[in-house]
Amino acid sequence: MKNIIAHRGFWLEATEQNTEVAFKRALSNGFGIETDLRDRNQSVVISHDMASAESMTIEHFLSLCTIAPDVTLALNVKADCLQASMAPLRIDNPHFYFDMSVPDMLGYLKNDMSLYTRYSNIEPGPALLDKCEGVWLDNFDNGELDLVALQSYLELGKHVVLVSPELHKRDEKSYWKQLKTFLGENESYENKLGLCTDFPLEARSYFNEQ
């Protein structure tokens, strides 16, 4: 698997999540980054929870990412109406926006911004699927990979990023095994698949071993 995305950066301690050290570690190891966008004082900042004065600006985050322009940035939108601030920014990395409210999706599409819709056991009908470049495929019920959904979206030509179960405090071993088997049987889809994980090094080792 080529597109491994480090959830809130490549952190070793929970306190490092969404920090410069975690972002730099991900970038230096060639991993993509999933991070969270919010607004504070009419600026876009990086923060999963409510933003503070210490929250990193989006401009600083993007400046860090210039050292690895080929890795994917998965930009998790935690607040509405950020499009006007994000659209003018130069982002050299491959990237997409996701997780915003459904009405807010329309503003991203209007501005021709790369957008992923959501699918999960509680969101079985992805909003605006035909207008989105990809699908963020999640599972809140158990640690199993929904192979039927995965196959169907790939056959539609969509990119798919999978949420690894450890993000929901579940064991990832069975899920990774299912995914590795799927990749072995469907090598043509590898470039359309990504995995968002808290364990990027372990994922790289597992999926690349023969």
Q: Does position 147 have pLDDT exceeding 80, yes or no?
A: yes
- What percentage of residues in the chain have a pLDDT greater than 90? 99
Average pLDDT, the chain: 97
Q: Are 116 and 79 in contact (CB under 8 A)?
A: no
Amino acid at 193: L
pLDDT of residue 63: 98
Query: What distance lies between CA 118 and its chain's CA centroid?
Result: 11
Q: Do 34 and 74 contact (CB within 8 A), yes or no?
A: yes
- The whole-angstrom separation of Cα 145 and Cα 78 is 25
For 68: left if phi > 0, alpha if psi spans -120 to 50, otherwise beta; the answer is: beta
At 95 the pLDDT is 99
Give me the pLDDT at residue 120, please: 97
**Is the whole-model pTM more than 0.85?**
yes
| Percentage of the chain modeled with pLDDT above 70 | 100
Q: How many residues does the chain have?
A: 210
What does each C-alpha distance from 134 to 36, 47, 53, 83, 137 come to in angstroms?
A: 18, 24, 33, 18, 9
* pLDDT for 210: 63
Domain coverage including residue 167: 3-208
pLDDT per position as a tens digit, 95-129: 999 999 999 999 999 999 999 999 999 999 999 99
Domain harbouring 111, CATH code: 3.20.20.190
For residues 83-103, average pLDDT: 98
| pLDDT per position as a tens digit, 17-51 | 999 999 999 999 999 999 999 999 999 999 999 99
Q: Report the pLDDT value the prediction gives residue 6, as an integer from 0 to 100.
A: 99
> How many domains does the chain divide into?
1
Average pLDDT, integer, range 160-171: 98
**pLDDT for 209:** 83
Per-residue pLDDT for 16 more than 70? Answer: yes
Q: In this model, does residue 184 exceed pLDDT 80?
A: yes
169 C-beta neighbours (distance < 10 Å), count: 8
